[in-house]
Amino acid sequence: MRCGTIWRNARLATMMGDDLGIVDSGVVAAADGRIVYAGPAGDAPDFGPATEVECGGRWITPGLIDCHTHLVHAGNRAGEFAARLAGASYEEIARAGGGIVSTMRATRGASEDALVAGALPRLDALIAEGVTTVEVKSGYGLTAEHEAKMLHAARRLADERDVRVATTFLGAHALPPEFAGDADGYVDSVCAQIPALAAAGLADAVDAFCEGIGFTPAQVDRVFAAAHAAGLPVKLHAEQLSALGGASLAARHGALSADHLEHATNADVAAMAAAGTVAVLLPGAYYFMRETQAPPIAAFRAAGVPIALATDCNPGTSPLTSPLLVMNMAATLFRLTVEEALRGLTVNAARALGLQAEIGTLEVGKACDLAIWNVSELAELVYRIGFNPLHSRIRNGR
Ligand code: DI6
Ligand code: FE
């Protein structure tokens, strides 16, 4: 078998099957950026001449996938954080013209170059912890021009760094001031942007914020219809602060994922299970917003809804750039198991992006995106707080 690089003497968490798919004495081999073998050393074929990497018994997982971020944005909201410490609520700040709209002002005022430059340190923090794929949403431009600028900036991150970027159009994130009192008019303009963004290849999916301070299920329904017409998959910020049935709506639309979900009901869970919609949990936002109602994890488990995890990196509710801390928070705050946490940033995150044929497991034919860890047991990846045991990160076999 011809191959380029072989990683030997490793322990593998392949994420194949329903658990971690562990191989104790494992080998991974790659050719032309793809995995050509991942399994027990004893069963490995003769690979012929290749670059050999001795892993010294280290653990190899699939490269981590951060499937929900708002990495591209200008400015920060540290001042609002301070105001919240002094007693203001997120909703009060939003209704007073702060919140998402303050990041919108900063983002409209930033050039595409400045957005790229601003996002790179955040992206580098993710990469330093083994992220090989990141989803990036628009949603702080809130005009056709500035939303497209954000998506261009997101695409350029993949030129600046060795990382796969999936982009999501989140025009229906907040009502921009010029449409005050006319949310339906703004939704019309969001829908009208979708065909051109799809045709230009700028958006891989369409998202919306279904919430009292965001958009109603009826408005989201219209955005999703426009996405379907343009051939784009959908996902939804749903049930974060209140129960509006957004997750059920997303499931009815065959959404890749519904995200946040603290207030999801049994009906939402059943609809997601039937549709195969992934539950993307964002414990950083739950923590930062000091929420007290955790998502219905037991119901997701019982119904077989796949659970993914992500940073939700954004300036307002989750200024977080650590996938390792996300796993710890998911375990500590939501009581996810080690297996669920690790699957949440690999195989199930791939599914939340519709990329399960390409990434997320150590499986022949998939991209050879690996994270190699200096840990003696996988639980260490979930257990430590503020410590990064990444040994190396492989993207497309390099
Ligand atoms: N939910 C969130 O947590 C973020 N967006 C959303 O729809 C918040 C974004 C922000 O406050 O800037
Ligand atoms: Fe978000």
Mean pLDDT per 10-residue interval, the chain, length 398 residues: 88 97 97 97 93 97 98 96 91 84 96 98 98 98 98 98 98 96 98 98 98 95 98 98 96 98 98 98 97 97 98 97 98 98 98 98 98 98 98 97
Counting ligands in written order, which one lies closest to the CA of residue 318? 1
For a pocket test of ligand 1, which of 237, 239, 262, 282 has the largest count of ligand atoms closer than 8 A to its C-beta? 237
What pLDDT, on the 0 to 100 scale, is given for residue 1?
Answer: 65
Query: Best mutation site among 92, 100, 101, 210 for ligand 1, i.e. most ligand atoms within 8 A of its Cβ?
Result: 100
Task: Give pLDDT, residue 203.
Answer: 98
Give the nearest ligand 1 atom to 209 CA: 7
User: Is 75 in contact with 28 (CB distance < 8 Å)?
Assistant: no
Asked whether the beta carbons of 42 and 15 are under 8 A apart, the reply is no
Angstrom distance (rounded) from CA 395 to CA 353: 18
Upper half-sphere CA count for residue 226 (Cβ side, 13 Å): 24
Which pLDDT belongs to residue 95? Answer: 78
- Taking alpha carbons only, the member of 371, 374, 349 closest to residue 360 is 349
pTM for the full predicted model: 0.98
Distance (Å) from CA 230 to ligand 2 centroid:
23
Tokens of 285: 């936002």
Q: In the chain, at which residue ranges do the beta strands (DSSP E only) sit?
A: 5-13, 22-31, 34-40, 51-54, 59-62, 64-66, 131-137, 164-172, 205-210, 235-238, 257-260, 278-281, 307-309, 370-373, 390-394
pLDDT, position 176: 95
On whether the CB atoms of residues 115 and 136 are closer than 8 A, the answer is no
Question: What is the reported pLDDT for 153?
Answer: 99
C-alpha to C-alpha distance for 131 and 388, rounded to whole angstroms: 12
User: How many Å apart are CA 389 and CA 374, to the nearest integer?
Assistant: 5
Pocket of ligand 1 (CB under 6 A): 99-100, 103, 173, 209, 237, 240, 285, 312, 314-317
Distance (Å) of CA 390 to CA 3, 131, 338 = 25, 10, 17
CA of 56 to the centre of ligand 2 (A): 39
Q: Residues 6 or more apart from 14 whose CB is under 8 A from it?
A: 20, 21, 22, 23, 38, 39, 62, 361, 362, 363
Ligand 1 centroid–CA 83 distance in Å is 17
For residues 233 and 223, give the distance between their C-alpha atoms in angstroms, rounded to a whole number: 11
Token code pair at residue 271: 């609809």
The one-letter amino acid at 181: G
Residue pair 69/131 in contact (Cβ under 8 Å)? The answer is no
Do β-strands 235-238 and 257-260 pair in parallel, antiparallel, or remain unpaired?
A: parallel
| Residue 132, pLDDT score | 98
Judge contact between 323 and 130, C-beta under 8 A. Answer: yes
CA 338 – CA 13 distance, rounded (Å)? 12
Q: Ligand 1 centre from 217 Cα, in Å?
A: 17
- pLDDT score for 90: 80
Integer Cα distance of 240 and 263 in angstroms: 6
Longest Cα–Cα distance in the chain: 68
**Residue 72's pLDDT is what?**
98
Give the ligand 1 atom nearest the CA of 318. Answer: 3
Point out the ligand 1 atom lying closest to the alpha carbon of residue 312.
Answer: 3
**Number of CB atoms found within 10 A of residue 113's CB:** 10
